[in-house]
Copies of this chain bind each other. A is one copy, B any other.
């Protein structure tokens, strides 16, 4: 056995024993050291870089690691095998290669404000945001030879006396019974119960010593095709206790839902896909939150997931092929009676798993949860809600009707398929302007440090600015020359946003013609979907009074630039509102409030689903939209090149 020590820029090092031949990435996972590995160990994505500080690692040079970097100790954790004691530095922000999984800074007021604002909006709309879970303190009489009532009856009778609910309508499940005798005696019969009420029944979810200080917690998860984001919440106050994001480990089975379904249909595939998201993605994310925030997972009593239909099926280990194949029938839109333990997550053993409902094969719980957050169901204005994910999803309507559709945008909005792409976390270029004369960029970087990559909002800005400055043409090809414009041996052009020497990183930060082409297809999918859905109702873009934009694209999204590249319709800019990760905030609302939960199920039932692939005009509209801003310039009268 060798000792492997992980060193962080902040916080205590972590040491764990490992066997010769073990993968470093696996060792890190065992030690609860989360390393972002979207391709989960295939050596493909190059994101799990760590630095060998001392000792030994058996690791090859890889195309993601130059000889110079290799000599400086850089290794891919997924390709490195243990062969002796080692000290491993896990890089954090301020390093050009961010590879640690993101734990949000909860002191950030913006972060907290998103959730607070949603709670206020829902309360204004008449929802109770109080949880149905609560503490009940009990002082029990101690047993004597004259009072030998069994432990469970003692508790049931006391809960009956305190609540007025008859004992036979109070459930005390095995998971509570299992430790009851010990808890009662350790606490000298002074305990507090964690109860939930459902109509006229009570479920005792826990019996804890009276002096236990753990809050009653829940976990909300945005389960994206490319990225996950989650919050652990105090269910009584609504306070966010921990927040984390990370990649969906299923990415190694394909970037889009179709490829993943195909993979899941192979022998053992359902288990592989489920493991990739549960074991390789959710569990490390949770472990990191538990570790950094001192959270006891056994006090997490509920989990809400908002994800698209395919993600929901693969998470639950369900047969997803019928979702993909005509007539496109999922196993469920709504399903109840799920428990967190059904997917082998270790929280409280009675913790239920609530899945935001799907409404079609390609419109899922991310949209029903997000539609709640958009509040468009509560307003008379004709509103468009757009969730920019790997599946782009749209809802259009108002307090009288709602229609939804989905399109395949690919991972570009989240920085996927982009050579220097990354999620909208520290080090990401989130905004950019380019001087038309000098072609020099001015950038805004999340967290303020040197740029490490580009997130979705940054890519929009860069493409819009390159286009506005005439550096690229409507097809996204470079048409000007300059110091920052490079061409490789195949003639592919690229624009250097930041030179390696200036960032302290190991590569220049660039955007190339392939990146631009990928992004143009993504924005074209969104625009053509919007256009086609409106057309199906006999409308055009002029009818839109509000646009709510959601997704991991980054809060810095510049709506003017998004219109400039032809991603959003050319309507007044004050109609646009960025509402953050509505899938996550929607899951958060469902976690806290059973009324919000029921509203999401109601939205699911009442939304009309438009299957774009059945709409004859969609493919033509998509092709026409795969241009900057559009092949039909009359649709974008406000877009004037300088």
Contact = CB atoms under 8 A, between A and B. Distances in A.
Given A174-B338, A329-B143, A337-B171, A182 B319 contact: yes
B316 A178 contact: yes
Interface stretch (A144-152, A236-244, A367-375, A524-532): A144-152
Considering the complex of A and B, which 4 residue pairs feature the smallest CB-CB distances, nearest first?
A181-B319, A143-B329, A152-B332, A145-B327
Interface string A321-355: 11000111111110111110010000000000000
B316 A174 contact: yes
Contact of A335 (B172, B179, B327): B172
**Stoichiometry (number of copies):** 2
A435 B360 CA distance: 86
Interface in A185-229: 185
A103 interface: no
A94 B257 CA distance: 63
Contact of A181 (B147, B179, B181, B318): B318
A255 interface: no
B331 A151 contact: yes
10 contacts: A143-B329, A145-B326, A148-B328, A150-B332, A150-B333, A151-B331, A151-B332, A153-B333, A177-B316, A181-B331
A173 interface: yes
A180 interface: yes
A150 B328 CA distance: 9
A317 interface: yes
A169 to B, nearest CB: 12
A174 B337 contact: yes
Interface residues of A, number: 44
Contacts of A329: 143, 148-151
Given A178-B316, A317-B178, A173 B337 contact: yes
Contacts of A326: 145
A332 to B, nearest CB: 4
A338 B342 CA distance: 16
Contacts of A330: 150-151
Nearest to A143: B329
A182 B265 CA distance: 11
B174 A335 contact: yes
Contacts of A361: 148
Contacts of A147: 327
Given A148-B360, A148-B361, A178-B317, 17 more contacts: A143-B327, A143-B329, A150-B329, A150-B331, A151-B322, A151-B330, A152-B331, A171-B336, A173-B337, A174-B337, A174-B338, A177-B332, A177-B335, A179-B319, A180-B331, A181-B318, A181-B331
Contacts of A171: 336-337
Interface string A42-54: 0000000000000
Given A171-B337, A172-B337, A178 B332 contact: no
A329 B179 CA distance: 14
Contacts of A331: 150-152, 177, 180-181
Given A316-B174, A342-B174, A335 B144 contact: no
Contacts of A177: 316, 318, 331-332, 335
A608 B235 CA distance: 45
Contacts of A151: 322, 329-332
A174 B339 contact: yes
Contacts of A327: 143-145, 147-148
A318 B178 contact: yes
Contacts of A145: 326-328
Contacts of A339: 174
Nearest to A142: B327
A172 B318 CA distance: 14
Contacts of A333: 150, 153
A147 B149 CA distance: 57
Contacts of A181: 318-319, 321-322, 331
Contacts of A150: 329-333, 358
Contacts of A144: 327
A326 B146 CA distance: 11
Contacts of A179: 319
Interface in A303-324: 316-319, 321-322
Nearest to A182: B319
